[in-house]
Structure 1
Amino acid sequence: MSGPALPSSGPEESTGEAAPDAPVSRLYVVLTRVPRRTRLHIGSLGEVTMQRGWFAYVGSAVRAREARVARHLAARKPLRWHADYLFTAFPAERAWLVDGAAGECELAGALAALPGAERRPRRFGAGDCRCAGHLVYFVRRPLRRDLAAAAHAAGAPEKGAVRAFGRRPASS
């Protein structure tokens, strides 16, 4: 079974030439909506309560970032990461590629610092680090400009760091 078509991300935007040994941030943010409060099994986290609202998952991929995001957007997939459990129950609605931010933990922290946002549930997506988690809850849908402000706070350039990846096709 084939997944969603990968949209062209276009040429990489740059504010100048980076040093060859400069670290490259390969982050992404996937957004989903949970329409009602529900209990959900999330792999190693077990049963968690997901509040009604919007959730932004911050992830990274050293290679094949676009393929990783497309996997999150796919309706069917093996359940491997915490995000797989969430996006299987509540399909991802939107995704962005983020370049230049320090890392997943920093970007999740910057998103959680936005008004009305918080990391929830604790440790979601943070199996390989010690941060509070990579999933950020919002009562209201976060806007691209919110993500851009958080990315900038996490070290990304002010312009050109956040690019839309595409939308998950609507189910019929």
Structure 2
Amino acid sequence: MTIPLPDCAGTYVLLLEACRWHKLPIGRFGQLVLEPGCYLYVGSAFGPGGLRARVGRRLQRGKPLRWHIDYLREHTRLVAVWYACDEQVREAAWVGAVAGMGGITVPLPGFGATDHPGQTHLFHSRRCPRLREFEEQLQGRQVPPVQGWQVEA
């Protein structure tokens, strides 16, 4: 799969679809009960290759399971990626925006946020939200414009 994202630093949200129930072992967290619906994972990309490299790694299957999101990716389908190029760390603002959308729940507190105790970077919704809903939640947070990449089914 070609990743049509820029190689800039920035923040992203992966929208992942789960079609069936599944129990996933997630390192020290124990198990995540994966239920059907849309999972939203907030991450950042400040290393070499920026967004293209980081999201590209997140999309690979069959690789060693190193990060929390790697466990989830093995059992979900990528639906879309929302992203923005930015040299500043914006994960907290993006996490707040996702959490503020309607119908959002936290399936496993602390997931993907070992560097931010008490937070989570993973959310669940029965349906995948639209980019516009996310942009509305970001209003007033002084963040760069968000782009969206819709993955073809």
With normalisation by structure 1, the TM-score equals 0.75
Of the two, which has the highest radius of gyration? 1
Q: What amino acid does structure 1 have at the position aligned with 2:34?
A: M
Count of aligned pairs between the two proteins: 150
**Residues 5, 52 of structure 2: 8 Å contact kept:** no
Structure 1 residue runs of 5 or longer lacking an equivalent are: 13-24
Partner residue, 2:14: 30
Deviation at 1:102, TM superposition (A): 5.8
Identity percentage over the alignment? 31
Partner residue, 1:5: 2
SS in 2 for 1:164: strand
- Report 1:48-67 matches (<5 A): 48-63=32-47, 64-67=50-53
SS in 2 for 1:148: helix
Partners of 1:72 and 1:136 in 2: CA distance: 16
Q: What amino acid does structure 2 have at the position aligned with 1:7?
A: P
**Residues 101, 134 of structure 2: 8 Å contact kept:** no
With normalisation by structure 2, the TM-score equals 0.83
Say what the alpha-carbon RMSD is for the aligned residues.
2.5
**Residues 102, 155 of structure 1: 8 Å contact kept:** no
Structure 2 residue runs of 5 or longer lacking an equivalent are: none
Partners of 2:130 and 2:40 in 1: CA distance: 11
Partner residue, 2:24: 40
SS in 2 for 1:60: strand
